[in-house]
């Protein structure tokens, strides 16, 4: 039987391929994309002088934005872990009525414009009795840092779900069954066997969710607003400073976001194992 | 000890259909059957992964049909080992002992004893992915046996191993089972494992257990056409049984063969194992009641043995050792005689 693989050619192996115009055209496309990317990023990276950059980074407003971004992204990632991992496990392991619909539905925020997500959240927490009740018990999400967390959570949990769902699907359920015959309950089998075996997936999913959380703008803008010293995350700081013509501050915020993205990508590729989304 | 009474379960592709089975304490029971017969589901249902729609399972008189796996004290070893990759060999072996809250030192001591029994005590600090297939399977068996289970379920435990490792592990399994006296249910496709390990063998097909008995009995006296075919009985005939001159006789077309048992007037199946048929160039004078003349129509080389198909009014297969075949210098078209005892004819 013919074997199909997605193996990339070994170094030098493709030297034997016959080269047509198609070969050069496809490589040219990848080079053009890389040049485009490098050009865009280098304009940001090379823009500020070292003095201006240092001044911006030591500016207290920028430090507030950094800390707020780190804190809100960390909390929203934690929420994604606590809720997304059990949900992904159920979707990967169990066959139940509505499984396919829920599977597809939970991916929807990936395709949804963040502004639409933000509008929905604003309507939920700002105009419904649920929102009013939550506000009465002290959970105010509209125009507060709590709103940033919920907006980041809503927009980014599909990344957690997708990566963890594929991670759990790749682990043979018989590992858990063996653990159960060795004295574990269902939950203990998952805790002692499946989760440790999923650690690269959990790391990747958390990294991507966290990085996406830090960069989230549209949904945060709609629900939490763009309020200086209150809901000013890095993307909001970039937006506010651009709006007021403080280009060095805006570029500094952009540089920090680029740095976080590069680090997240490195962690994902380096430690992510076979995790994919 | 183990009593399975008419359990049924339907998982779509696989099912159990009123399967019943008993195992005695310390018995090594091998379950044999074709792919899709329901062997693994049977083990997993006994182990508690699935709850049967009907029927019951008990061990030593205790109903376990609806108990979760952790309360059954039944351990399972799979073909592909299922060792926990994030744990060392030692941690794998003491995994279950930790669930039982056994003190760490005692657990380590037990793990070492079991590792010694299975000759893997030098591997305790290694991770599964650094072990050979045989070492991994020994570890999986140690992890199960250290729990002192009332029943050990082995799902094709030797299928993923090379022939040499498999042979070694067969001996090891028998030795360890004799020492631990654990009751074993072992699923396999491999006839060699049946004869090397089984006290009894149960043959499964389409979710049911259709014959249980000592291996020799099941292979020599199959109770159905399916088992006769599955166990490699080449000569399966359909005929009419009658008593002629005080002898049990089966008429198969124009041929009549003598048998020991008979169901008079009824249509029966008769099987004769190829190795029970003596082949010769001249008629043989012996106590054997059946002697048929025929012509060799086909010679098949099967390594150590040569299989000959002889047209004696019906095609009959016989086997010879390679040496015997060369000494007789047989060829297709040669006329030969087939001699076999009435006792070699199994009727059902």
Q: Which whole number is the average pLDDT over B3-31? A: 92
Note down the domain range covering B207: 2-225
Residue B236 sits at the vertex; the CA angle it makes with B233 and B240, to the nearest 5 degrees, is: 150
Are B85 and B177 within one domain?
yes
- Both tokens assigned to B280: 């010769």
Q: Which whole number is the average pLDDT over B319-334? A: 91
A18-42 tens-digit pLDDT: 778 888 899 999 999 999 999 999 9
Q: Could A177 and B69 be called an inter-chain contact, meaning their C-beta atoms sit closer than 8 Å?
A: yes
Are B274 and B297 within one domain?
yes
| pLDDT range class, residue A218, cuts 50, 70, 90 | very high
Range of lowest pLDDT (A26-35, A230-239, B38-47, B253-262): B253-262
> Edge-to-edge, what's the strand order for the sheet holding B305-311?
B278-280, B335-340, B290-302, B305-311, B315-321
pLDDT computed for residue A8 by the predictor: 60
Q: Which residues pair with B319 in a beta bridge?
A: B307
Q: CATH number for the domain including B81?
A: 3.40.50.300
| Residue in B82, B83, B97, B145 to test binding to A, most A beta-carbons within 10 Å | B82
Q: Determine the residue of chain A that is closest to B146 in CA distance.
A: A182
Mean pLDDT for chain B overall: 91
Q: Which whole number is the average pLDDT over A60-66? A: 93
Range of lowest pLDDT (A29-33, A120-124, A160-164, B220-224): B220-224
| Residue in B99, B111, B136 to test binding to A, most A beta-carbons within 10 Å | B99
* Domain-ending residue, one of B225, B249, B279: B225
Q: Which carries the bigger pLDDT value, residue A125 or residue B303?
A: A125
Closest CA to A261 of A206, A212, A219, A220: A212
| pLDDT range class, residue A10, cuts 50, 70, 90 | low
- Residues in contact with A227: Cβ distance below 8 Å, sequence separation at least 6, in sequence order: A143
Q: Determine the residue of chain B that is closest to A177 in CA distance.
A: B49
C-alpha B118/C-alpha B59 separation (Å) is 27
pLDDT computed for residue A16 by the predictor: 67
Q: Could B143 and A182 be called an inter-chain contact, meaning their C-beta atoms sit closer than 8 Å?
A: yes
Res A109 pLDDT > 70: yes
* Domain-ending residue, one of B194, B209, B225: B225
B176-189 tens-digit pLDDT: 999 999 999 999 98
pLDDT computed for residue A247 by the predictor: 87
Res A91 pLDDT > 90: yes
User: With an 8 Å Cβ cutoff, is B96 touching chain A?
Assistant: yes
pLDDT computed for residue B11 by the predictor: 86
* Domain-ending residue, one of B185, B202, B225: B225
User: With an 8 Å Cβ cutoff, is B48 touching chain A?
Assistant: yes
Superfamily of domain A50-271: MetI-like (1.10.3720.10)
C-alpha B294/C-alpha B314 separation (Å) is 9
Res A1 pLDDT > 60: no
User: What's the number of domains chain B is made of?
Assistant: 2
Q: Strand B235-244 and strand B335-340: pairing?
A: unpaired
Range of lowest pLDDT (A49-63, A172-186, B86-100, B313-327): A49-63
Q: Could you tell me if B285 and B225 are in contact, meaning their C-beta atoms sit under 8 angstroms apart?
A: no
- Both tokens assigned to B156: 């094709």
| pLDDT range class, residue A276, cuts 50, 70, 90 | low
Q: Which whole number is the average pLDDT over B9-38? A: 91
Q: Which residues of chain A does B12 touch, with a Cβ-Cβ cutoff of 8 Å?
A: none
Mean pLDDT for chain A overall: 89
User: With an 8 Å Cβ cutoff, is A188 touching chain B?
Assistant: yes
pLDDT computed for residue A11 by the predictor: 59
Are B253 and B278 within one domain?
yes
C-alpha A38/C-alpha A48 separation (Å) is 17
| pLDDT range class, residue A14, cuts 50, 70, 90 | low
Res A12 pLDDT > 80: no
Q: Which residues pair with B255 in a beta bridge?
A: B252
- Residues in contact with A94: Cβ distance below 8 Å, sequence separation at least 6, in sequence order: none
Q: CATH number for the domain including B282?
A: 2.40.50.100
């Amino acid at each position: 039987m013919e074997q199909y693989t997605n193996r990339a050619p070994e170094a030098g192996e493709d030297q034997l391929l016959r080269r047509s115009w198609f070969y050069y055209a496809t490589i040219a496309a990848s080079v053009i994309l890389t040049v485009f990317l490098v050009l865009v990023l280098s304009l940001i990276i090379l823009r500020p002088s070292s003095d201006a950059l240092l001044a911006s980074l030591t500016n207290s407003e920028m430090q507030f934005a950094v800390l707020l971004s780190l804190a809100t992204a960390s909390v929203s990632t934690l929420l994604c872990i606590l809720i997304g991992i059990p949900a992904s496990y159920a979707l990967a392991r169990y066959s139940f009525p509505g499984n396919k619909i829920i599977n597809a539905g939970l991916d929807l925020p990936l395709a949804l414009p963040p502004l639409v997500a933000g509008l929905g959240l604003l309507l939920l927490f700002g105009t419904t009795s649920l929102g009013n009740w939550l506000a009465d018990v002290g959970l105010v999400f509209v125009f507060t840092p709590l709103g940033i967390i919920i907006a980041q959570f809503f927009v980014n949990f599909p990344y957690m779900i997708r990566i963890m769902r594929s991670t759990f699907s790749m682990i043979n359920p018989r590992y858990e069954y063996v653990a159960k015959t060795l004295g574990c309950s269902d939950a203990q089998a998952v805790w002692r066997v499946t989760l440790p075996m999923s650690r690269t997936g959990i790391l990747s999913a958390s990294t991507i969710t966290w990085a996406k959380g830090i960069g989230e703008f549209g949904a945060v803008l709609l629900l939490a607003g763009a309020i200086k010293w209150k809901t000013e995350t890095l993307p909001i700081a970039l937006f506010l400073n651009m709006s007021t013509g403080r280009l060095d501050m805006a570029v500094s915020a952009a540089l920090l976001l680029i740095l976080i993205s590069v680090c997240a990508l490195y962690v994902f590729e380096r430690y992510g194992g076979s995790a994919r989304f | 000890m183990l009593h399975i009474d008419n359990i049924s379960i339907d998982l779509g592709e696989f099912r159990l259909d009123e399967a019943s089975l008993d195992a005695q304490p310390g018995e090594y029971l091998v379950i044999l059957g074709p792919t899709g017969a329901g062997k693994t589901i049977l083990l997993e249902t006994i182990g508690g992964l699935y709850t049967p729609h009907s029927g019951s399972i008990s061990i030593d008189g205790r109903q376990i049909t609806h108990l979760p796996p952790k309360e059954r004290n039944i351990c399972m070893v799979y073909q592909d080992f299922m060792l926990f990759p994030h744990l060392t060999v030692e941690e794998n072996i003491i995994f279950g002992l930790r669930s039982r809250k056994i003190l760490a030192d005692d657990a380590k001591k037990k793990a070492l004893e079991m590792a010694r029994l299975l000759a893997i005590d030098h591997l305790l600090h290694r991770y599964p992915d650094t072990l050979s297939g045989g070492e991994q399977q020994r570890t999986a068996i140690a992890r199960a046996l250290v729990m002192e289970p009332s029943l050990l379920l082995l799902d094709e435990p030797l299928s993923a191993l090379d022939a040499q490792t498999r042979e070694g592990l067969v001996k090891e399994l028998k030795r360890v089972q004799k020492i631990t006296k654990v009751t074993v249910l072992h699923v396999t496709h491999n006839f060699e494992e049946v004869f090397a390990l089984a006290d009894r063998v149960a043959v499964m097909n389409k979710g049911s257990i259709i014959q249980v008995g000592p291996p020799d009995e099941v292979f020599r006296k199959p109770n159905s056409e399916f088992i006769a075919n599955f166990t490699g009985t080449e000569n399966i005939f359909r005929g009419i049984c009658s008593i002629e001159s005080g002898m049990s006789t089966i008429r198969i077309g124009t041929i009549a063969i003598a048998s020991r048992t008979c169901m008079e007037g009824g249509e029966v199946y008769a099987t004769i194992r190829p190795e029970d048929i003596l082949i010769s160039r001249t008629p043989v004078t012996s106590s054997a009641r059946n002697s048929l003349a025929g012509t060799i129509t086909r010679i098949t080389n099967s390594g150590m043995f040569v299989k000959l198909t002889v047209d004696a009014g019906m095609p009959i297969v016989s086997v010879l050792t390679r040496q015997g075949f060369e000494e007789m210098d047989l060829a297709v078209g040669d006329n030969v005689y087939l001699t076999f005892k009435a006792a070699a004819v199994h009727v059902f």
